[in-house]
Structure 1
């Protein structure tokens, strides 16, 4: 897939080199256009190195604004007030503006990443809203900047990549379907089967308070749940996260509600789950909580014994609340065989109604809690044993499996 990266004259252009490199790591082909002002901030050779391709600085007899106007995505990052305003009124006075106007005429998706002083960002809000109002099937969109120190700053690169992948995904099926009118109804069915699905994901650990400053938790980082949320979002699904205690940076583009205890997580899950089509329970919810939480700090000079109670198993109630939901459960065991894990997963499927179980042995070195990798079994009607791989790869495999399930 090809992304045309347009760099304009914001100081945030220095971040475009990193962005281009990350897009290539995500297997995108990247071609850069640079404005004259952008070349005063970074040298075109830097973008040529980052993209592996010549940079377009001027329009020639190759009519570059037409040649590259039907890419999978036109990404304007950074986007200045100047380029946004000129696109609003379709002013074509340089290669980037000419490309944007031509691409818009072809219904190519365009994603703007505004980066400027906050006062300028506020001043062009009407222009941004006008551009959004022209959008058909998410053809025109914006990544919200970080508002800090009186500036609308360049967002995190992970946010930009996620939004880019999502916009491409939302438009991919439509573009393919429009090639042949006979496929219009088939396209609508396909979109209704997966692209319109709402996904609720719990992630991270929970914290059970003993007193105002002490409590018990677990080693769950939230990495697996976050990779699943990012994968779902990048495919165009509507994603909601309920996050407990996490050790990950959740992108701003994701809708997240934070909770702390197992009671809070279970309560929020019950409130929301009836609104969703898919529930993925990656959170490591505490199995036990102190019976008597102290309202004041327990003295460190005494010997302390604690009595615990079992917490509610929310996963057992999901199908009772929403019988039609597709339920994905995670099962973490310690130092057991694959056969034992499969038996426990099938038991959960029978007792809870789980449609897919992701099981793993957390005793395996450099896998599971806190690691970027894992080794899992995917258990439904079939059993798929995956080798050690990254959690992002596991998330992709899981959603490939879900897509096939919803399309059948």
Structure 2
């Protein structure tokens, strides 16, 4: 960040307001001049004096309360601003921004600000998932405002969910990306698959795997944060899709293959993180298969499902990038290398799911990243969001390398 960039930090009424103190300090440490605007609700959580001490500037809390008779307070501050950051951003301020409402100093000044804006939502998961909030966030993005994806974790209400304000360090990284205006992934059309496909045995039973979809969803979120236009093709999971991605639900491997073929044609990048069923029942019963008193065994005939990546390789264009995943329990590198070459992939993410803390259902992962002609890159065991960032960074480098 350039010295003395003017950052206007808007703090609204969320329990996460305390994190804005650390964010203020990081901005100042990075050489920015910071002026803080607080809503009345924010003052219930943190005092203006705390921000004043950290920013070395008076904190603005009321409309038309300035002593400068030659300046209109909100216009003066709006014109002064090089970057406006709303953190934490409540559902209330998001709704005001999306609909042009200006009834307090924060919303009034933001409406007059022409500088780039970064909105960092922080609220209860149910509020975040409300249809009105989703519409408002989509409106902000359409208006050119950058919206960070909220973090998941323990909420103030006493349970885990999505809606936490990201850590100040993550916000600063997003700010640095904004300063660069673009990343290698900005504007790229990216298709990410996630979850485990299901193959029906009968109306009440199916074949599937242990995939939770967490890895694919984390990659979709990271891609979106890097400015990509993300389509997330998801087999059944218990996860909420990141705000703003195009979610395409599928059930079977055949459904997934059809969706991938459709969206890949217009895509720049495909990330096949879904755990695809390799086999399906040769015949699926129309009615529930009942247990027989005469026979304690049942033979289930299976047949191979469609090989999606092999299909993709046939239609892939030179300017498209394909990334595959390989979950193995033995001979990790040998099996992964065969898949990398056989499926004509640009990148392969391999993991040994027999190891503790790795792979399906958990919150952590450890992967080995393979590229043609390059030495494998082995990550440490870490949260899947951290692994997603490392994977997306490798994809970004690949995009940059190929021009």
TM-score by structure 1 length? 0.70
Q: Which runs of 5+ in 1 are unaligned?
A: 8-12, 144-154, 175-189
Higher helix share: 1
2:21 corresponds to 1:4:
no
In the alignment, the residues of structure 2 paired with residue 86 and residue 199 of structure 1 have an alpha-carbon distance, to the nearest angstrom, of 26
Match of 2:317 in 1: 323
Per-residue deviation, 1:260? 1.0
SS of the residue corresponding to residue 309 of structure 1 reads strand
Match of 2:96 in 1: 84
Is residue 272–residue 325 contact of structure 2 (8 Å, CA) maintained in 1? yes
Match of 1:393 in 2: 386
Per-residue deviation, 1:396? 1.0
Match of 1:33 in 2: 37
Per-residue deviation, 1:31? 8.2
Structure 1 residues 71-115: Cα deviation after superposition (integer angstroms, max 9, x where no partner): 4633572364899389948x7x8542564256x14x131549799
Is residue 76–residue 110 contact of structure 1 (8 Å, CA) maintained in 2? no
Match of 2:257 in 1: 266
2:201 corresponds to 1:195:
no
In the alignment, the residues of structure 2 paired with residue 375 and residue 196 of structure 1 have an alpha-carbon distance, to the nearest angstrom, of 29
SS of the residue corresponding to residue 194 of structure 1 reads coil
SS of the residue corresponding to residue 220 of structure 1 reads coil
Q: How many residues align?
A: 350
Per-residue deviation, 1:331? 0.6
2:398 corresponds to 1:402:
no
Structure 1 residues 9-65: Cα deviation after superposition (integer angstroms, max 9, x where no partner): xxxx3xx2237649979x9769863233654xx34349969xx88993547789894
Match of 1:178 in 2: none
2:275 corresponds to 1:284:
yes
TM-score by structure 2 length? 0.71
| Aligned mate of 1:96, from 106, 111, 116 | 106
In the alignment, the residues of structure 2 paired with residue 298 and residue 47 of structure 1 have an alpha-carbon distance, to the nearest angstrom, of 70
Is residue 148–residue 225 contact of structure 2 (8 Å, CA) maintained in 1? no
In the alignment, the residues of structure 2 paired with residue 406 and residue 82 of structure 1 have an alpha-carbon distance, to the nearest angstrom, of 33
Q: RMSD between aligned alpha carbons?
A: 4.6
CA distance 1:74–1:260, shift in 2 (3 Å): same
The 5-angstrom pairing of residues 214-233 of structure 1 reads: 214-233=205-224
Per-residue deviation, 1:378? 0.5
CA distance 1:19–1:355, shift in 2 (3 Å): farther
Per-residue deviation, 1:200? 0.4
Q: Which runs of 5+ in 2 are unaligned?
A: 2-6, 28-33, 150-160
2:163 corresponds to 1:157:
yes
In the alignment, the residues of structure 1 paired with residue 346 and residue 206 of structure 2 have an alpha-carbon distance, to the nearest angstrom, of 34
SS of the residue corresponding to residue 291 of structure 2 reads coil
Is residue 166–residue 235 contact of structure 1 (8 Å, CA) maintained in 2? no
CA distance 1:85–1:254, shift in 2 (3 Å): closer
| Aligned mate of 1:70, from 74, 82, 101 | 82
